[in-house]
Each structure stands twice: as structure tokens, then as C-alpha cells.
């Protein structure tokens, strides 16, 4: 382990201790439960003490470079819309931001085998949501099943977790740290090379759809998925 690794471990340990269930932040929120699957959770469900309402609080992962929380906030503001998680407040001094909690929504990673035929129906909405961010000048940067929420009541989808979002055209070369999800990121993104490009998100979506090859979907769904794959291929 080199000194940088040790610094990261120390930071992760201190972050683990600084956010725990029951902790009050800024005299405004009480942490209710961790939402992330990571050992050091960066997303927590919290209660706004004054109103009793639930919100999601997000902070930067250990090792994140200075300014990355502000960048996430900027991305959320620029990409505002029906298919994007709503940003509420930024607390730069305390190092977190709050976003709307959607109690009736589940991430697409939780789709059961019986629900998998719903995916091709939701897919056009996901394409539209991602395109919407691109038109606003940003890539989401971490498109994957745990970062797309599905509201069962309205059948709406919402992109969440803009922690890896980047302005289109920004070079990764000068970034001190960046995020890439294994299995969903191109070699260049994983290596921190090149510039942020819409094809980074389309690449992730292609990977996601290809993973569905392993599950049983109806002929109709397969047809729709193949058509989408064809279109995505033209965007690379």
C-alpha cells in the first residue's frame, strides 16, 4: 500500500464515522438509513427535521477531487426536467447536497424476471432522458440499472446519481479523480482518457441491453431491443 492508498483508507474510515444513522447534519437533517450498496455509503435517506419530510442526501466518495460536489450540482441544475432527479439544495461548506426522494420508485436493477418485459417499454424513455442531458450539454457518465428509477404508478423513469456527470467536451486528462462503473464504461473512460462524449452514455446503455441477452424476453421485446441496439450503434 502506498501513501496515497493509505490516505484513501483513512479518508474512507473517517467518512464512514462521520455519517451514521441518527446523525444530525446542519441542524436540519437526521440521517435515516444508507441507500448506497457501497461499504462507505455516499447516499443516505434523511428526514428534514422541521417538516418531517424525507429527502436524499448525497456527498462525494472518498478521494473525490475538490469541486466535484459543485459539478454534480451544476449537472443537476443544467439537466433539470421530468426525467431527472430533482435537486433541492447544495451545502458546499458541509459537503453534501439534497435531492428529492421518490418513495414509489425502484431502481431498474430490482426488476424481477417477470417484470423484465417492461424494460423495452421503458427504454425509449431512458433514451429520451439521456438525450435530454446531452442537449443540455452534459453526459450522465454512469448509466446503469441502479441509477435509473422506475415509478410503477406513472411508468415514468428518472435518472439519478449524477456523481460522474461531466460537461460534454471536458477532457478527463486534468481530472484528479473520476468515476467509471465496471462493465458499463468504455476503456477510455475507465482509463480516464479522452473527453466526455455522448457516446460514453450510449456505450453504457449498449452494455446494459446486451446483459439482457441472458434473460428470457418475449419475441416482441427482443425485436425492440435489437432495433434500439442498431440505433445506438450509429451513435458510437
Ligand X SMILES: Nc1ncnc2c1ncn2[C@@H]1O[C@H](COP(=O)(O)OP(=O)(O)OP(=O)(O)O)[C@@H](O)[C@H]1O
Binding mask 135-174 for Mg ion (x = CB under 5 A): -----------xx-------------x-------------
Per CB under 6 A, 101 contacts ligand X: yes
Instruction: Single out the residue of 47, 131, 146, 177 in contact with ligand X (rule: CB under 6 A).
Output: 146
Q: Which parts of the chain are beta strand (E)? A: 24-25, 29-34, 43-48, 54-58, 87-91, 96-100, 105-107, 138-139, 148-151, 156-159, 166-167
Per CB under 6 A, 147 contacts ligand X: yes
Instruction: Single out the residue of 15, 105, 126, 166 in contact with ligand X (rule: CB under 6 A).
Output: 105
Instruction: Single out the residue of 107, 137, 192, 194 in contact with ligand X (rule: CB under 6 A).
Output: 107
Per CB under 6 A, which of residues 55..94 are in contact with ligand X?
A: 56, 58, 85
Sheet holding 54-58, edge to edge: 24-25, 29-34, 43-48, 54-58, 96-100, 87-91
Half-sphere exposure of 221 (CA within 13 A, CB side): 17
Q: Which residue has the cell 428470457?
A: 216
Binding site for ligand X (CB under 6 A): 35-38, 42-43, 56, 58, 85, 99-102, 105, 107, 146-147, 149, 160-161
Amino acid at each position: 500500500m502506498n501513501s496515497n492508498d493509505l490516505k484513501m483508507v483513512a479518508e474512507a474510515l473517517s467518512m464512514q464515522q462521520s455519517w451514521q444513522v441518527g446523525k444530525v447534519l446542519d441542524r436540519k437533517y437526521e440521517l435515516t438509513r444508507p441507500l448506497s450498496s457501497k461499504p462507505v455509503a455516499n447516499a443516505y435517506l434523511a428526514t428534514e427535521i422541521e417538516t418531517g419530510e424525507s429527502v436524499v442526501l448525497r456527498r462525494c466518495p472518498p478521494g473525490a477531487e475538490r469541486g466535484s460536489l459543485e459539478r454534480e450540482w451544476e449537472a443537476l441544475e443544467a439537466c433539470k426536467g421530468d426525467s431527472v432527479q430533482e435537486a433541492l439544495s447544495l451545502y458546499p461548506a458541509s459537503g453534501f447536497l439534497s435531492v428529492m426522494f421518490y418513495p414509489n420508485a425502484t431502481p431498474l436493477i430490482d426488476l424481477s424476471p417477470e417484470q423484465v418485459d417492461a424494460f423495452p417499454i421503458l427504454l425509449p424513455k431512458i433514451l429520451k432522458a439521456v438525450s435530454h442531458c446531452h442537449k443540455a450539454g452534459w453526459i450522465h457518465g454512469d448509466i446503469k440499472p441502479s441509477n435509473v428509477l422506475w415509478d410503477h404508478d406513472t411508468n415514468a423513469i428518472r435518472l439519478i446519481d449524477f456523481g460522474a456527470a461531466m460537461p460534454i467536451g471536458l477532457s478527463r486528462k486534468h481530472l484528479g479523480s473520476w468515476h467509471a462503473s465496471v462493465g458499463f464504461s468504455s476503456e477510455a473512460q475507465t482509463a480516464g482518457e479522452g473527453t466526455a462524449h455522448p457516446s460514453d452514455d450510449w456505450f453504457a446503455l449498449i452494455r446494459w441491453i446486451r446483459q439482457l441477452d441472458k434473460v428470457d424476453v418475449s419475441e416482441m421485446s427482443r425485436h425492440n431491443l435489437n432495433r434500439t441496439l442498431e440505433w445506438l450503434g450509429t451513435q458510437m
